[in-house]
Structure 1
Amino acid sequence: MNIEVVRRLCLARHLHQLGLGSLGSANDLHLFSGVNLLQDAVEAFLLAVADFVGAGLDERTQFAKYFDIINDKIEPKQLPFKNQLLRLNRLRVDSKHHGIQPARDECQRLAVYVLEFFDEVSTSVMGVSFATVSTIDLLETGETKEQLLEAKQALEASDAARCAICCRKAIYLEFERQYDVSEFKDGDKSPLVAALASEAPFYAKRKDYVDREVKDPTDFIVYDHTELEQKLLTQGIDTTTFWNVWRLTPEVYRFKDKTWVVKHEFRKLDSKTLNANIEYLFNATVDIILAIHSKRQSTRQLAFDAPTFELKEQQVRVYEKADTDSRIVGTTPEGVVQMQCDYRVAGLRGDGPYWHVYCFEQN
C-alpha cells in the first residue's frame, strides 16, 4: 500500500468524522454540510480503493461508474452498498445544486451504511482497518514506529506534551543518537575509533570538550550541521521542516541501558504553544521518518557479513592509504585480537595485500 492510498483513507476518515459532527447538530442547516461531507468521504475512499487495485479513474469518470470500474478489478468480489451510496450522491446533488434539505432520518441511516462500507471494503479488499490505518503503518517495525504510535495515542488523548516528547524520541532514534559524544567522557580515542564511534564533529570527540561543554545528558548530542543538512537533502527531507520539529520539541537523550532522559523545557512544553503546533509537529515528524524508511526500503544493498580475521600481533598500524608511506591514522587498540574487513586489495606500489578495516572486536 503506497502513501497516497493511506492518505486518501485518512482523508476519508476525517471527512466522515466531520460529516457525523454536522449530522449530530440540532440545526437543520448542518444537514446540508453533513451530506456533502459524507459524499466527499465516500469519493475519497473510492479513489483510494481504485488506486490500490489499479482501477483507472479520472476526473471525467462519473460517480456511478466508480463501482463498475473497481468491481472489474476485484472480481469475484463486489463493492457493497452501491444503491445506498448512489442515494447519498443524489441527496448531495439535490442539497448542493437545488437547495433541497435532506431528511434527517435518511441522512442518519445513510451514515451507518457509509461506515459499514468503509469497514467492510477496507478489510476485504485492502486488508487494513479503516478506523486505525495511518501513514505510520508504512514505517518499518521497530522502536521509531513504536514512539510514533505512542505519539498518535497521545495526540488523540489531547496529551500534547507526551506527543511532542514521543516525536522528539523518534527524531533521536533516527538522527540524534548518531551524534552522541558520551563515548569520550572517559578519555580520548584514536582517530579511527573516534570516526567509528560517532558522527559528531571531531572537535567534540574529545574528553576536554565533554568536560567543558556537557552540562546535562542532552549535551552529549553534538550535531555536525553540514553533514546533517546533506543527509537530510539526500533523504528527500525538507530541512526547514526538520529544524522546526527540532526547535519546537523538548530535547531528549537515551543512555546505553535504554533509559530515556527528557529535558522538560517549560517554554517548549507550554500548553498554549504546544496546542497551537502539535498537529503540525506530529504530521511533520511522521513525514520525516517516512521519508527515511521509504528511502531505505527502496535502496538495494548486498546482504553481507564482513568476515573476521585473526591478527598476528597487537597494535597493528592502520594506514590512510594502501601504502606504508601514507599517513598512519591509528593503530589497533591493545587487546584487539580480531578485526572485520570488507575488502583486500594490492597496494599503490604493487605491494601488499592491504586489508580494509571494517571494525574491531575487543578481546
Structure 2
Amino acid sequence: MTGSRVSRVEVPPDSLFGPENMPYGVFAPPDGVFRVGCRLGDMVLDLAALLDDPVFARSEMNAFLAQGSRRWREVREKLRALADTALPIDAVYPVSAVRMALPVRIGDYVDFYASIDHATNLGRLFRPDSEPLLPNWRHLPVGYHGRAGTVVVSDTPVIRPRGQRRTASGTTDFGPSERLDIEAELGFVVGTGSTLGTPVTVDEFAEHVFGVALVNDWSARDIQAWEYQPLGPFLGKSFATSISGWITPLAALTSARVPIPAQDPEPLPYLRGLDDFGLDIDLAVAWNGAVVTHPPYARMYWSPAQMLAHLTANGASVRPGDLYASGTISGPEPSQRGSFIELSWGGTEHIRVNDQTRTFLTDGDEVTITATAPGTEGRRIGLGEVAGRILCARDT
C-alpha cells in the first residue's frame, strides 16, 4: 500500500457492514474507472490499491473468483486485518460517491423454483381444481435457463416489456404488459468452475460457490401466462433481471446456517449430502418506499447445494461468474409472499402502498429489496439492496 494515510474506517456498532461482512462489488470512484472493491461501513475499499494485486484492477470479479476457495479465504483474512488499520486516503471512498457496475461477467443464468410456499400459492391460483404441486416438484429442484445478457445491476431502470397476451375474449393481442410483477430471490454466484461431464456434488457446494446476491426477477405475468406452456418462461421474464451490486461471501454467512425443512420423499442419492446449507436470511420488499412483505429464505424447500448438484447432474459445467437464483422466496403467511401476484392473489386483492392500493406495477413505481442475516459477531449483517424503477414501454 502506498499513499498518505488516514485514520481507520469508523464503523458504527449498528452497521450492517462491519468487518464480519465486507461484501465485494465492482465500483468506480468519481472520474475513475471500474475496479473491484469491498464495503466496510459506509466506505468502499479499493482492493487493487490496498492489496497491490492487478486481479482487482479489472471491471469484473471473474478472475478473482476463478482463483478458488483458498485464495478467497486468504484475501478475506487480509481485508479483515486491514479493517482495523489506517488506510491510504486514495484507496477509500464513500459509498455515496461511487458508481456500481454488474459485479461479475455472467456466462449462464439459471432460475429455480425452490420455495414450496410460492409453488403452492401459484398452483392454487393457476390450478384451483388440482393438486397445487406438480408430481415432480418434491423430487427435484425445478428450474429453467434464463437470459444472462439482460441481468442488470441494481438501480438500472426497467422498461415495461411488450409482448403477446391472450385477452379475456379469447383472442390475442400485442402490447405493454399490464401485469408487471417482481420476484424476490437470492442469487448464488459461482466462483470455481467445474469440468464438463463431471457433476458437482452437494458437499462440494462451498468449493464452487463464492457468495450470494439479492435478485429481483421481474416478471410480466400476462405475457408469461400465454406463452409458458409447454416450454416454460420465455419473454415474460427475459426482459430484465436485477442483481444487487454487492456479493456477500459465504464466509460471512457462517452464523446464518440452518437446516433445510424436512423433505418428503427423501431425495435421490445425488441430492443428498452431509451438509444441506440452509440459510436464515430475512428479506424486505419496499414498493415506493412502503415495505409490503417480508419473505423468509429459511423456508426454502430446496437448498442451494441441491440446486447446484441438480444443475450439473447431467454433466453440465459451470464457470466463474455464472449465476443461479432460488426462485421467488415466500412463506406461509400473506405478509411473507415474495411476488405481487401472490400478495394480490392473482390481482383479486388490493395491496396497500402508502396512500394507494395496487395489484401490479405501474410506470414510475420503484421496488427495493433488502435483506439481513445473523452475523458472526452477534449482530446482523446486510446483503445490500436490489432496486429498480419502472419506465414506460417503448413504441415498436
Q: Given the two structures, how large is their TM-score scaled by the length of structure 2?
A: 0.21
Normalized per residue, which structure has more helix?
A: 1
Normalized per residue, which structure has more strand?
A: 2
Q: Given the two structures, how large is their TM-score scaled by the length of structure 1?
A: 0.22
Greater relative CO, 1 or 2 (CA 8 Å, sep 6+): 2
